[in-house]
Amino acid sequence: MRATLLLFLLISQRVCSLNIAIPHPGKWLGQLAMNDRLSIPFTMEISKVKNKQVIEIVNGKERISLQLKDDGDSVIGRFREFDAYLKFKFNENGEELRGYWLNLNKKTQIKIPINAWLDKTVTEMVSETTNIHGKWRAIFSPNSENPDVTVGIFEQSAQCVSGTFLTETGDYRFLSGTVSVGQFSISTFNGSWAFLFEGKVVNDSIYGKFYSGPSYQTDWIAVKDPNATLRDPSKLTYVENEKEFNFSAIKTLKRKSFDYRKVSKNKVVIYQIMGTWCPNCIDELHYYKELYKKYNDQGLEIVALAYEVGTNEKSQIKRLKAFKKRLSIPYEVTLAGTSSKDVASAQFPMMNEIMSFPTSVVVGRNGKIEYVHTGFSGPATGEVYEEYRKEMEMLIERLFTQYIK
């Protein structure tokens, strides 16, 4: 009897100390309070799989599953791909949560307040919306000295819209939102960034605002154009002299000097210029894992050259070790330096510049640079992504048959 009572008391203390309500499963609507005037919306889905709670951030076709852990009376949901997390509490009836988002890769770390609630609304199909389906030539900061030319790709079904923007340095990944008469709103949240795009549609033109993070905003305009394109990503960064790689400062995860000559001997090598803080780099990394599995036995090597936030080498190495393990990266990851395009450019003095994270440098069996690809257009870009995959694999197979030492 005393043992039963003691067990009851221990269980009661545990439940009371956690004070965590069981959340209701289903679709949840959330907001990130970026500042006192702007909130960026996001969507979550909560479910139970094999008796375990599952919380996913949903951006259109993308689902990001959080790694959950109790922390006193709160829950911590860590993003698997980025060094970031949510910390929140559910209310007593499990239909609302409040907390914050913290991105540890930011030089200045700010706790962004979040709240989310169970979506009890019944979606009704509307009879009239503005159609934005298709391709748009979009320009961000059109009145600045350096406007950013992009291509918007949108898919629409009734009042629901999804898509992305292609840029010369990558894409804005999976965006989703709603369209009404004459206006629309699309957003994304992945742990590394939170974006909101608003637009007013006038005939075949869009006049909009783009919001990123707590303070950045800019205008953007677009014109419907089924033939909209960007410059060729294989011609933006190029070899212009015969200088050697300047890899003397690059360190392995054992804090040893990286010997690129040993890695590249009689191999086709892809040097992936990236950072753990870079969402487009993560998209590229997932593809390169597939590429490595397919071609490593035939002579392909991939080396991630990571340019990390901060200057503390010990902390950077620790972050990279955790990153490599967390994402099960099968190829070598190195610390190339701090997150700076100037640092990256200095390590590739034979090229005009490194203008983007990511950038891929493909070296043939003869040790010469055969191809450079600026940026990366990931799965959200659909046909563009699939076409790049085909081109890259054709290139690698061709390079396997070339000069052998």
* CATH at 205: 2.40.128.120
In the chain, count H helices and then E strands.
6, 22
pLDDT of residue 404: 57
CATH number of the domain at 271, please.
3.40.30.10
Both 271 and 395 in one domain: the answer is yes
In a domain, 392, yes or no: yes
Which of 65, 93, 118 is where one domain is finished? 118
**Is 245 within the bounds of a domain?**
no
Distance, CA of 176 to CA of 162 (rounded, Å): 4
Q: How many domains does the structure of the chain reveal?
A: 3
Residue 51 lies in a domain: yes
Of 67, 93, 118, which residue is a domain's last? Answer: 118
3-state class (DSSP) for residue 161: strand
Contact 21, 93 (CB under 8 A): yes
Residue 102 is assigned to a structural domain of this protein: yes
Cα–Cα dist 304/284, whole Å: 11
Tell me, yes or no, if the pTM score tops 0.85. Answer: yes
How many angstroms separate the CA atoms of 163 and 173, rounded? 8
Give 28's DSSP letter: E
Domain-ending residue, one of 224, 246, 277: 224
Taking CA atoms, 191 is separated from 50, 132, 234, in Å, by: 26, 28, 29
Task: Kindly state whether residue 151 falls inside one of the protein's structural domains.
Answer: yes
Assigned domain for 128 exists: no
Is residue 233 in a domain? no
For the chain, 405 residues long, the average pLDDT of each consecutive 10-residue run is 40 40 92 96 94 94 96 95 96 96 92 97 78 97 96 96 96 97 97 98 97 96 97 96 95 95 90 97 98 97 97 95 97 97 97 97 94 97 96 96 70
Spatial neighbors of 194 by CB under 8 A, at least 6 apart, are 32, 34, 40, 42, 101, 112, 187, 188, 212, 213
Residue-level pLDDT at 136: 98
- Residue 329 is which amino acid? I
Query: Do 174 and 203 sit in the same domain of this protein?
Result: yes
CATH code, domain carrying 50: 2.40.160.90
Is the same domain home to 269 and 394? yes
- Specify whether 139 is located in the same domain as 203: yes
Q: Is residue 95 part of a domain?
A: yes
Residues 171 and 89 in one domain: no
Residues 106 and 163 reside in one and the same domain: no
Considering the domain architecture, whether residues 111 and 139 belong to the same structural domain is answered as: no
Can you give the pLDDT at residue 14?
Answer: 36
Smallest Cα–Cα separation from 209: which of 31, 40, 35?
40
Task: Answer yes or no: do 85 and 164 share one domain.
Answer: no
Same domain, 88 and 171: no
Within this chain, do residues 85 and 143 fall inside the same structural domain, yes or no?
no
Range of the domain at 377: 260-400
pLDDT in the model for residue 261: 87
12 to 4, 5, 15, 29, 75: CA distances (angstroms): 12, 10, 5, 32, 19
What's the confidence (pLDDT) of residue 22?
81
Indicate whether 280 and 386 sit together in one domain: yes
| 188 and 150 inside one domain | yes
